[in-house]
Structure 1
């Protein structure tokens, strides 16, 4: 696992020890960023269920201004910290060592809108995808926000979360990526 492109291109990233997380492969990550980017001119990224922090770090490397990394697992938080240090991105990151629902409440305190949101909970925990709707209700997402949900290809996510509609789904082996954008009224 490594940073694919941008300022930190080629830097290897640590995986979270143990079997509680499954890192997004470099192939899937590269495809994802080719669809949503590939580069950014500033903005805020939130990596819910961050694991190693790979997705948020990739977004920072490609031009996002600041990233919020959410994970309640102690080993994941330590790994995120180490990966941010290795990439020299600590000053552009905030780690929230909280349950995702509590982190959403904490994110409500920031004054910036989220430009890019990654939602990658444990695959059997479909209820966590509804956090997209909660973030929308809290007015933390804007009309230009891109939401990327990673899930098992056998799980079909809802067509909409609040004002966000699925505009594209891509399958990579057992992994599916569903992309949501603000629905025009």
Structure 2
């Protein structure tokens, strides 16, 4: 696995051995970012289920200014720290070792607005609609925010979740990628 494009493009990333995490393949990661950009001029990205940190690192590599990576698994967080160190831009990354729901609460106190939200939860623990609604309720969503969800291909997410409207859904092997856009009232 590697960073696909941008400032860190081509650099190798480590993953947690075994089946604890399910890293997004380079092909799917490249397709995800091509659907929404593929590059950014600043902004904040939230990766609620960071795994190896690959998606958030890709977002910063492509121009996001700050990344908040949430991961409750201690071993996965160790891998994230190594991958972030590879960038030599550790100040662009904020690591939070806790559950996604706890992180939403903590971030609400910091009043950070997110331009890009990445949701790739363990397939057995999906609460995507609930977590997006919590991000809206806690006022953590920037105007024109984009959400990328990666799920099992059998999961059909709603057309709308709060003020998020589904733009596209694409299946890649066993996974589906769903993109939502924020639409102000």
Query: TM-score of the superposition, structure 1-length normalised?
Result: 0.96
- Cα deviation for residue 182 of structure 1 reads 1.5
Q: What residue in structure 2 maps to residue 13 of structure 1?
A: 13
Greater displacement, 39-48 / 158-167: 158-167
Distance 1:99 1:53 in 2: 15
Q: What residue in structure 1 maps to residue 26 of structure 2?
A: 26
Unaligned 5+ residue runs, structure 1? none
- Cα deviation for residue 128 of structure 1 reads 4.2
8 A contact 2:111–2:139 mirrored in 1:
no
Distance 2:62 2:110 in 1: 22
Query: TM-score of the superposition, structure 2-length normalised?
Result: 0.96
8 A contact 2:144–2:183 mirrored in 1:
no
- Cα deviation for residue 19 of structure 1 reads 1.2
How many correspondences in the alignment? Answer: 185
8 A contact 1:169–1:178 mirrored in 2:
yes
8 A contact 2:115–2:143 mirrored in 1:
no
8 A contact 1:137–1:162 mirrored in 2:
no
- Cα deviation for residue 184 of structure 1 reads 4.7
Distance 2:54 2:126 in 1: 21
SS in structure 2 of the partner of residue 42 of structure 1: coil
**Does 1:123 pair with 2:148?**
no
Distance 1:97 1:114 in 2: 19
Distance 2:18 2:27 in 1: 22
- Cα deviation for residue 183 of structure 1 reads 2.7
Unaligned 5+ residue runs, structure 2? none
**Does 1:138 pair with 2:138?**
yes
